[in-house]
Structure 1
Amino acid sequence: MLASRFGRTLKFRVALLTVVLGMGSLVLIGWFNFQAARAEIKNERFRYLSDLVERIAADIDQRVAVRQRLLASSVRTLHPTDAALPQMAEGILTSLRPIAPLFDALVVYDRHGIILADEPASAGRRGLDIHDRDYFIETRKSLRPMISVPLRTRNNPKRRIVVFTVPLTDPHGQFVGMVGGSLELLSVGFFRDLESITIGNSGYITVNAVRSRLNIYHPDTSRVFEPLPSAASSPALNRALGGWQGVDETTISTGERMLVAYRPLRQVDWVVGGLLPVGEAYEPIYSLAERYIAFALGMMLVVLLLVSWRLKHILRPLDRLKSNILTLPASGNSVLAGISDYDELQSVADVVARAWSERDTMEAQLARSEAFFRALNEASPLGVFVVDDRGKLNYVNRACKRLFGYENEVEWHGRHWNEAVHPLDHERIRALARSLLADGETLVKTECRLINGQRPFLNVELRLCRLTYEAEPRFLGVVMDVSEQEETRQSLMAERERAMAILESIGDAVVLTSHLDEIEYLNQPAEALLGVRAQDTLGRPLYSFASFSPPENGRPLSIQRLESLVAHPFCEMDMMTKDARVQPVVLTLSVIAAVGSMHGYRVYVLHDDSARREREKAHRWEANHDPLTGLLNRRGYLASLSGLLAGPDRKGRNDAIALIDLDHFKAVNDHAGHGAGDQLLQDVAGIIQSRLRSSDVAARLGGDEFALLLFNCRLDDARALIEAVRGQIEAHVLEVAGVSLSVTASVGMTMLRPDDVVPADPIERADQRCYLAKNAGRNRLVTG
């Protein structure tokens, strides 16, 4: 109690204000000095981290580049054939022994991804199939040296390696296999020496893989080869994985604040990082701040004592002013004259004197105001009443008497106002009144029913307000008749239920959204089409559950763009649902232009278009493909050749076409039947497809005639490819009922010329060469 009274004195508050101002100055000065020192330490730590990470990244880049260059140069002169590679595999490894110390293992693979030889030999590694590994697929496709993403070995999942690969090609440049050098990520010569690098007492170095998003080096080995944290938990790391390099102060996945520096490697898609805890980095400035705070607290105590001692003398006139004000009602305003030689205290005394003299005037004005407001309440169309804390009426205006049914009654004063309320609403109204008394509420609002004898009951809106300026608790009530509004609302609810019943009976999906495109309603077909439940979507944007894009480009459209495109009644769209499912739909979008709250609302009607699209896709495929072999038919081939001839990029490019006519195919049909002939045609189509590149086009023009279109292929390369196809057709034998069937191929090939504008020109040249091959004895290629 003593401390509370002391804290309310003017002397204490002035002293406290002086101390606070002084302390504020000390704190402000200290804060600016602290921030400047902290910034200097931060910049110095950033420079240190950046230089260290830059050196480590350059060192790892050099190690990767040396290994890749030496491995590539060691096999550059080797061109084994596909058949000779298994016998040469051991010899290839023997030739690589000078660079073997740079790798943990050297391996030779054939063209199918089967391991032929390894050094040093490891149990279970020879014969292992890695054809589905990304590094094998990319090396075979690009015919260039590659470095794999970090991965686990299949014969020993505990090993974590990267693989350096170099393709092996035959004398014709065809892929026959590859040589790989594997390197343990934690080997002594690669990452293990990073353990000796320390950053302060608890900082550390990390190495992270960008493409696979794995941690491939960390002092805590339990985190090696674990997925990297999300962007929300480690924002700086995720920016570095996207290409950013630099320094930052950030939070990592453990919640700890860190100074970080990241640098990407040039030779491989890895990111090197250096991390130092903020607490350790700023430890010197924090220690200095603690000493400064102790000094400031001591100064505050000394200043508080000095100011309190001085104010005791300065504020003595306040006690004299207090005693004179207590005698003011009996002695009049004269006792406040000349109270002090302090101008401020004398001004207070003069204000008190004026206030006292104006009190009577204010009371008269309040009486007139009360009379005015009573007259205003009597003329108001709203019912107004005042009750005490027991609910007894003290005042009702004319409108309230009519609503309560008291128009013809004189004795209303003192009656409980709850008598006019419908019995079913009594308890709820009592609870509202108790909340005004007990919970400190000043205003409550509700609806209830009144019994006034004119109809079964009146629906009214009731507002109760506590009159806080009165000594005794009293309450003001305002009543407004809302019977007609309630009837209108019920009618609107019934109309809405009928509309909902109609929408639920519609077979198509219907979605209603607000002008902000937030979902207000969707029917059961819409739930099924979107794969959601209605209660999970209400009030959320439609784009959270579905986006729309044209089938021809797949680019999502904004709402404004969608409205402009769906100007006609029906529009084909692809709808991407929340579960990443693409659903073909026919969309009808209507925007409500009615005046009122529904203006700008949108109605989406979605019809499932999957079946029709599938039928059209099948028809398009059948129109351009041969049903027996699956190759393009004549129509599809002519369309591809026409597109090539009309392309703007033909200049400076070599393209070739070839016509293949099977020799003696009629004899196969005559002796073995059309079933055997069809099988042989399918085998020939398979041979052609196996030899062509993914960019080339193959077609069956009819009968035993095939056509090829070789994009961007030089004459020598085209001749070698066609010869390989012809030779494989000649070597192919079909066994049917114990009879061996085979055919040969006569091929005519020509290069496309700048003056070729229609497909008939090059096709006629190729056909002439094919005719020459037939006349020259068949089973040969004629070019020109």
Structure 2
Amino acid sequence: MINLVRKWFGSLVNRAVALVVVFVATSAVVIAAIGWLLSRAELEDMAYGQVETIAGMVARELDLKLSERLDVLTLVAEGFRSTEIVLENRARVLLRNQDALLQLFDATFILDADGRLLAASPASYYVPGFNASQRPYFTDLVSRMSPIISAPYITVIDEQPGVMVAAPLFDANQRFIGMIGGLILLQGDNFMSEFASVRVGQTGYLRLITQNGIVLADGLSGEVMVPVSKSSPSLLQAMSGFEGTSHDHPGRKTGTITGYAQMALVPWFVAAVWPEREAFAPALRMTGGFSWALLAVVSILAPLAFWIFYRLLAPLRNLGVQIYQRHTGEREEPVSEVGGSEIRNVAKVFNQVRQERDEIFRSLAEREAFFRSLTSNAPIGIVHTDILGRIEFVNPAFLDIVGRPEDWLRHRYLIETVASEDRDKAMKGWRNVLVRRSFFRSRLRLLTHRLPGYVWVDVITSVIDLPDQAIGTITAVRDVTQEMRFERAIREEQQRADSILDVLQEGVLMVDTEGAIRYANGAGCSFLALDDDCVGHNFFESVTIRHDNEELVYDTFLAGNEIDNRYVTLENLEGRIYDIDLTMLHMRKGERQERLVFVLRDDSERRREEERLSWEATHDALTQLLNRRAFTASLLKALADAPQREVPAVLMMIDLDHFKPVNDEGGHLVGDELLKRLADVFKQAVRQSDTVARLGGDEFAVLLPACGMARAETLAESIRTKVQALKITHDGRKFGVTVCIGLTPVSAHDNGPKEVMARADEGCYIAKSRGRNCVVSIALPDEGDRP
């Protein structure tokens, strides 16, 4: 089909006819478009006024209906002047006497001051045990104490959406005793269904939407209590209070003219939607009629124009026949210069070009002979192509490269000898040579009969350029297959070595004698906090390496011996510090290409594991306090320091009272939680220099260096009070303990930790004998009483 169209437009007669038809049709379309725009503008103004009027009338009507129902309900509420007891006992009778309300509402309800449902009409709407105290309409009424119209909500009546109109009920003393409410179901048989059935024109419809974006009625889909689509900017403006008319999605199938009117009584608005296709239907009908008239005019004009132009171009057809005969050799004399001035100029130019062409061919024949003699013994392949890329000449070296005879190659397109994978690149480069008169250099694959079916070559192509035009290209071709094999082997070995180094977790870096990084794997760059490619950065400016608090500098490594597994710390420019197992090797030491190879192994994990094991050996896993072993070591140190202390250290032993019932009744999880909370109390009560430990089970100890007994007794009493106040709740029960605390000073005369701890334990025993939950201090024994 496309070829037929191209063939038809190949005729000048057909082109001229098409031009006339297009001109007439374009003029008619422009006139029609202007008329359409003018009529559309008038229709749009009329539609704007109509939808705005409809929206306003409907909004006022809805305000009137809601106001009527609110006023009636307010009058009924004002007529209820009974007590709260009477309201509770006679709610159903009182509501039954107001059957007229069912003409305005789908259901009516009476609720007491606590939100409990007392009565409902019809009786089938009564829900026993229903309490509306948490419903927004009830809380709003209670807070305002005046009649309200609620926001739409989902009722408990079959989960139907509705709106509650409510008024407060007061007793004779103006005390709030309840509320009377009228329910309007959004999908009930009421004025809301009448609203949804109203039409704008034939296909337009109304929508009722809250300013919060909830659909109350939709004349198109019938959906209620669903969020509106936020795709319409005008709808978003209406939710912010906009009133007026908007043209949404003009020109589309979904285009509409929408009028918005805000309601006065409630935060709702009415949207009157009129589809654009119906609003502009008269203009569309006028355009259709004009199109038929235009078709009739074109049907008459096209054949007439064809006949006129066919007669005018008859001399041009004769010129075409003579040019063809001249080309094939059937005609020797120049073509006839007859017809109109344009046709005579074409014939004259053809005769001149034909004469110049014959002269150029003679010149080219001479140059070709010279070129052949010059390239026949060249060591590289040389190919000459015409302007279309067809091969005109190849030398013997090129024949050897592709393994094809010259007869097979001549007049073939040079691109046919290129492998399919490289043809797009070669074609793009060859075209660029012709357009920009530049050079094209590339590495390509040429097809050959030898395995593997192609050879790699480097090519360079240049245009053969005359002063006013290009007449072909010359391409030099060099076989580089063997070179590439060597390069690939070297590259694969390099990649294999890089791959091995990249997967290592150790950082490997090679540095020259100036400190510049010549090679680094990914792990090495990570240690230095540099990018993945950190080659070129100075290693010694990027890190600080220390061993035994001594910084190892550039000269240390360059002049020193090789290093094997030395533990050092490495700090990078981001301030991050690593524990490193360092190895350093010299390569070509003392030579011009001397290199230093650093291997960095991260030893941080092993050192952290040692610290963790050390911590676990000296701490209680549950409370995170020191264990008995570590506490004993601290007490031994305090005993050793006792002779030099003017103020003695004090040992505080803490024994929990009634801890076993906590475990038995609340469970071990409750007991563990209580122990952790007690540990927090002890740590927060003492100084940072004091030592707190859990000796085991429900026994704790605190070592107070340079404290003195008076201060220790005050601190012990504070701890006892805080422990007594500490309670934890589990399954509705509270659990807690008290403590017995024994205090004793640490003396230089004590024989060891056991003696000091025995005195403090004695204080705990005395405290238990006194009824528990108290502090007992044990003084140092007299010198004569010591064993």
TM-score of the superposition, structure 1-length normalised? 0.48
- The structure that has the greater radius of gyration is 2
